[in-house]
Amino acid sequence: MTIDPRTPVVVAVGQHTQHQLPAELPEGRAPSAVDLMAEAARAALADSGVEPGGLAAALDGLVAVRTFPDSTVRPLPEKRATNPPRSVARRIGADPRWAAYTTAGGDVPQRVLGELAGRIAAGELDSALLVGGEILATAKHAARLGVELDHSEDVPGQLEDRGFGTLWLDKSDIQQRLYRPIDIYPLFETAIRARRGVSVERHLRSMGELFEPFCEVAVTNRYTYRSRLLSAERIADPSGRNGFIGHPYTRAMNARDTVDMAAAVIVTSVEKARALAVAEDRWVYLHGCGALRDALYLRDRRDFHSSPAIERLGERVLGASGVGIDDVEHIDLYSCFPSAVEIACEALGLREDDQRGLTLTGGLPFFGGPGNDYSLHAIAEAVGRCRLSPGSYALVSANGGSVTKHAIGVYSTRPRQGAWKLLDLAEDQREIDTIAGPPTVDAPESGRAELETCTVVHSEGQPVSGFVIARKAEGADRGARFIGRVPADGGLEELMGDDAVGLECRVEVDGEGMNVVRIGRG
């Protein structure tokens, strides 16, 4: 088969995990996120089978995934590198003509790899390194010791800093203090349980059964940060240290971001891979990829148990790859919380107990969730599986925001036929944008409402407050959806019951602009 020389191909991957925390932090020094990224990049250079200096010198693009400390609207005041991609480049002996620092979001690694592939196919680049890493465990360790880390570094050179990116929180989310993933994702889970019509107890068991195979994969993965084998029963049991965080999620069901991890992927054109003498048994083709977004703001969702964007994206990417979901042998679904996996399974037509498995790494709660960079580890694992099973296909899905932004890639050692082109999904996105939810209101009139979904926030295993999404049942804003807070004495026990969705409640706006909700007619 004649392969278009501009076809993009992944030629190398690398991962690095710092399993042990530094015993001491003299003068605030410890390996930085950039240091870990460089280690992953070196691993990728070695993985290519090419003399590392030659491949590093050949890189004309280098992109670093935005770190968590830089991923807030107002970056945290820590001493960090001002030009992370150039800092990585200096460590590995590279001098790319183009460097970029991505926006925030778990979808970023897969989405940006697609962008790099498109640039290579268009002749804008010949080779590029995509790298990301975090030292969130070290940062937490330093905070416990009362040490301020000093990772300041100012490497000159061109940088395309893409900033934080689009904020997926609206003014009502912020006003009601609903912005933490550990509070938002349980809202999806309660809606999923209600749609399935099962009890809280039964749904807890099913989430444990969903995540047990993830844990089994994690304990066999040498790059897992730290993990021990947990049964489905233990994952679902909210006793002891595994108490609820945001009901109905136990601690073991939450993404674990306090990790020190990094990953890297090198992509080149076929022409460049041949010029560098990368053995063809290292080549893995990105057959299809793309990105779509559901409603940007939580309140605007059609519902809280599905994703039209993942469904459409799966159809388009698999179609472009010339395969169906049943033809894919290796699967990694973004797994920050059970709801992310459950929604993706329904959208892609997968069973939650699929015998192929739904993770290649072990998942964010067990393998580790290094900030925005998790899916780069999933891509590295997918490339490895494809090499071990030539001709097989792997699918990686990535998720950013609140089940908001989605990216999917399909990989195989099987050569891709025809000219490679990034999917044009603009019309698909316009169609998804027309899917409307109910009307919304920031500050509802006082009166009766009905719950659509809810969660109860826990602290040290005890319920302290709740979040609800509800619709007004009376007044001029009848039918409008709003976000509310339930105080400690507002009916938290009922929110954790089997019949929480559909409960009647009353809402009042307090002097601080909080929508205070109490369960019952009042």
Provide the pLDDT for residue 124.
Answer: 97
pLDDT in tens, 98-130: 999 999 999 999 999 999 999 999 999 999 999
Residue 259, pLDDT above cutoff 60: yes
Provide the pLDDT for residue 21.
Answer: 86
Contact predicate 406/269, CB 8 Å: no
Task: Tell the burial category of 197 from Cβ atoms under 10 Å away from its Cβ (0-12, 13-18, 19+).
Answer: exposed
Provide the pLDDT for residue 145.
Answer: 87
d(CA 110, CA 285): 14
In angstroms, the Cα distances linking 407 to 57, 111, 316, 349 are 30, 5, 11, 17
Please give the torsion angle defined by the CA atoms of residues 58, 63, 68 and 73, in that order, rounded to the nearest 10 degrees: 150
376 lies in the same domain as 483: no
Would you say the C-alpha torsion 395, 62, 402, 206 has a positive or negative sign? Answer: positive
Mean pLDDT of 293-308: 96
Indicate the residue among 383, 406, 433 that finishes a domain.
433
Which strand (E) or helix (H) includes residue 234? helix 232-236
Per-state percent for the chain, helix, strand, coil, to nearest 5? 35, 25, 40
DSSP designation for 297: S
Residue 497 sits in a domain whose CATH number is 2.40.50.840
Contacts of 356 (CB under 8 A, 6+ apart): 328, 329, 330, 331
Instruction: Give the structural domain span for 301.
Output: 8-168+256-433
462 lies in the same domain as 511: yes
**What total number of domains does the chain contain?**
2
Provide the pLDDT for residue 76.
Answer: 63
336 lies in the same domain as 461: no
Mean pLDDT of 201-216: 98
Does residue 184 form part of some domain?
no
Dihedrals phi, psi of 218, to nearest 5 degrees:
-60, -40
Mean pLDDT of 355-376: 97
Give the pLDDT band (50/70/90) at residue 438.
Answer: very high
Closest CA to 495 of 448, 444, 446, 452: 452
Residue 5, pLDDT above cutoff 60: yes
The three-point CA angle 243-340-381 to 5° equals 100
276 lies in the same domain as 161: yes
One-letter amino acid for residue 153 of the chain: E
Residue 71, pLDDT above cutoff 60: yes
Does residue 305 form part of some domain?
yes
Dihedrals phi, psi of 221, to nearest 5 degrees:
-95, 120
pLDDT in tens, 486-506: 999 999 999 999 999 999 999
Please give the torsion angle defined by the CA atoms of residues 395, 401, 404 and 406, in that order, rounded to the nearest 10 degrees: -20
d(CA 114, CA 316): 14
Indicate the residue among 398, 433, 468 that finishes a domain.
433
Contact predicate 411/10, CB 8 Å: yes
Backbone Cα Rg of the chain: 23
CB atoms near residue 202 (< 10 Å): 13
360 lies in the same domain as 484: no
Residue 404 sits in a domain whose CATH number is 3.40.47.10
Does residue 174 form part of some domain?
no
Does residue 198 form part of some domain?
no
pLDDT in tens, 32-45: 999 999 999 999 99
d(CA 480, CA 461): 33
Provide the pLDDT for residue 319.
Answer: 96
Does residue 438 form part of some domain?
no
Helical ranges in 13-157 per DSSP H: 33-47, 52-58, 84-92, 108-121, 136-145
Provide the pLDDT for residue 78.
Answer: 66
393 lies in the same domain as 465: no
In angstroms, the Cα distances linking 54 to 102, 273, 277, 447, 449 are 26, 12, 11, 70, 66
Instruction: Cite the beta strand spans of 216-269 per DSSP E.
Output: 244-247, 249-250, 260-269
Of the chain, the percentage scoring pLDDT greater than 90 comes to: 88
Helical ranges in 48-169 per DSSP H: 52-58, 84-92, 108-121, 136-145
Give the pLDDT band (50/70/90) at residue 418.
Answer: confident
Name the strands in the sheet holding 61-64, side by side, starting at the edge strand that comes first in the sequence: 160-161, 98-101, 61-64, 127-135, 260-269, 8-17, 284-293, 405-412, 393-400, 330-332
Contact predicate 269/285, CB 8 Å: no
Does residue 207 form part of some domain?
no
- In the numeric block, which tokens belong to residue 37? 């990224």
305 lies in the same domain as 408: yes
The three-point CA angle 138-139-140 to 5° equals 90
d(CA 354, CA 13): 27
Mean pLDDT of 246-275: 97
426 lies in the same domain as 484: no
- Name the β-bridge partners of 330: 394
Q: Per mean pLDDT, which range of 6-20, 66-80, 315-329 is the poorest?
A: 66-80
d(CA 132, CA 129): 10
Report the mean per-residue pLDDT for the chain.
95
Q: What b/e string do you get for 392-406 counting C-beta neighbours within 10 Å, with b at 16 or more? A: bbbbbbbbbbbbbbb
d(CA 269, CA 4): 9
In angstroms, the Cα distances linking 494 to 195, 199, 455, 460, 501 are 18, 13, 11, 20, 10
471 lies in the same domain as 344: no
DSSP designation for 195: H
Does residue 155 form part of some domain?
yes
483 lies in the same domain as 423: no
- In the numeric block, which tokens belong to residue 32? 């930085």
SS3 177: coil
Indicate the residue among 433, 465, 491 that finishes a domain.
433
471 lies in the same domain as 406: no
375 lies in the same domain as 496: no
